[in-house]
Structure formats: structure tokens, C-alpha cells
Amino acid sequence: MLDVIKTTLKLGLENPVKILHITDVHICEVSPLDEPWQQELMKERIGVFQREANFPEKTPEEFYREAVAFAKEQGALLVVTGDVYDVHTKGNLKKFKELIRGEDMMYSPGGHEYQYQIVRTLEEPDGYGAKMEKQLKEEIDEFNLDFECRTIGGVNIITANNALDYYPDYTVNKFEETLKNGLPTIVFSHDPLDDKLLNKREAYHENVKITKQEYEISHRMLKELIAKPQVVTTFTGHHHISRDYEIEGKTHYITGGLFKGVCRLIEII
Ligand SMILES: [Fe+2]
Ligand SMILES: [Fe+2]
């Protein structure tokens, strides 16, 4: 059974808006076309998540399907903030496509969608980041991975990519453009605002090749998310544990991993 956390945001809307936030599913699928070492890696990773979730009664995929059904039953918009699968295997990609087919949802990737070989994003072979990014955008073309906004019931519901520990220029520009409509805004991303790597101000690994200027732009967005009254709050994942935290008087929310059965039903009223 799902462990549903309930969060209510009071904005004085005429008609309430419901969102189901899910994150960190960590599906570990392989296909016969994947390399033998990937088959081994996925077996090992299934065990990692089973232990982390204390051996739940359902698989990540079963929890995912249950959450999709629950969102429909609730009339809630499904918003997914990444780490849907654990490593970019052919099996996982096929499964991901099967799971999103025909579903109406918003999606922002996590670091694991960019992982190819091993499970520490930043230690992958040189140049993998750009390669994976290109591949992802080609293969999952159902979504704009960097930025999407739906204005529902007078609220901007945004997905903003920060999966590689920074907000790309494109994302920041789109975000700032959207804020011009003056509507209350809720932002969904993978990394929490207080994440250590998201708060770095200079390149910390050769695989994250972004310029000083790009870092400044990313920090501009971070600052706007924290300080602009128009930004009501953010919902993120990544830590696999649910937590609320406060920065400059504003409460932000982290939703635990769906591989543990956790999801968050948000009601904006
Ligand atoms: Fe995760
Ligand atoms: Fe993550």
C-alpha cells in the first residue's frame, strides 16, 4: 500500500488544484541487449533498494503503477521528479517509455537518468554528461526535460531541471519569463534547494563542464526560488526520505522515494 503524505497549500483559490508528487522510483530493468556487466549491476542494485526500503511488499514498478492509479482516482496531476530508473540501460529505458505511454504527467529528470555505467554520477567516463544528455533528449521526447509550465487554477506549476546539480541557462530564462505573469508559482525539481552540490559555485568535477557565468545564472535561480514571494514553495526528491525544511521563512518539501511506497498528495486551496 502507498504511504501518502498530505500537504495543503493555502493560496485562496476558487477551485482547489490537486497534485500527486512522486520521485525516486529507481526501477532496475535490463533487456537481453544490455551488457552482461549491466545485468549484474542491476541485480545488485535491486538488492540495494530492497534493503533501503526494508523489503517492501511491492516492486518499484508496482508502486509506480499504484501511484498512477491513485492520482487518477484523486483527480490529481501527476508530477515526477526523476530517478525513475537507476541506470540508463536499454531495459530501463524501454520500461520507462512503457510506463509513461498515454499518461498525462509532468516530469523532471534526476541524476540517475543520466547514469550510464556506474552509480556515482560524477565518476562516469569523461564526456559522458553531454552524451547522456543528448541521448536522453532524443529518447524521451515526450517531455521538455529542462522546463515545463502548466498554469492550472491560476497557479504556475513548473518542472525545472537541476539533475546535474545546476539550473541550465535555458531553464532559468524560461522560469524568469514565466514569473512575469505574476501568478503564484510552485516548482518541482530533483535536487532540494539545500543540496550541497546544487549550492557549489565553481566546477567541482571534470564531467560537469559549466562555466563561471553558467554557475552565476544557476545561483540567480536558486536565489529567486528562495527569496521571491511569488514562488510559494518547491517540491523535490533525491534524498529518498521525506523532509520539510525552511529557508528564509519559506517551507520547502522533499518527498521520499517511491521505491519505499512513499508519495505526496498536494492540495492547493
Ligand atoms: Fe534517487
Ligand atoms: Fe538523486
* Domain coordinates in residue numbering, the chain: 3-268
Q: Give me the percent of the chain exceeding a pLDDT of 70.
A: 94
Question: 12 CA to middle of ligand 1, Å?
Answer: 34
CA 41 / ligand 2 centre spacing (Å): 18
Ligand whose nearest atom lies closest to the CA of 257: 1
- Ligand 2 mean position, distance from CA 110 (Å): 5
26 alpha carbon, closest ligand? 1
What predicted TM-score, i.e. pTM, was given to this entire model? Answer: 0.96
User: In the chain, what are the helix, strand and coil shares in percent, each to the nearest 5?
Assistant: 35, 25, 45
In this predicted model, what pLDDT tens digit does every residue of 149-168 receive, in sequence order? Answer: 999 999 999 999 999 899 99
Query: CB of 158 within 8 A of CB of 106?
Result: no
- What's 240's DSSP letter? S
Question: CATH fold of 3-268, please?
Answer: Transcription Regulator spoIIAA (3.30.750)
Burial class (CB in 10 A: 0-12, 13-18, 19+), 256: buried
In the numeric block, the cell 517492501 is attached to: 56
The rounded Å distance from CA 35 to ligand 1 centre is 23
CA 268 to ligand 1 centroid distance, Å: 26
Taking the centre of ligand 2 as the mean of its atom positions, its distance from the CA of residue 3, in whole angstroms, is 20
Q: How confident is the model at residue 116 (pLDDT cuts 50, 70, 90)?
A: confident
What is the Å distance from ligand 1's center to 192 Cα? 12
Looking at the DSSP bridge assignments, the partners of residue 150 are 157
**pLDDT greater than 70 at residue 122:** no
Q: List pLDDT tens digits, range 38-80.
A: 899 999 999 999 999 999 999 999 999 999 999 999 999 999 9
- C-alpha count within 13 angstroms, C-beta hemisphere, residue 200: 17
CA of 83 to the centre of ligand 2 (A): 6
Q: How many CB atoms lie within 10 A of CB 71?
A: 23
Residues with CB under 5 A from ligand 1 (ion): 24, 83
**Given this model, what pLDDT does residue 176 score?**
98
CA distance 220 to 75: 35
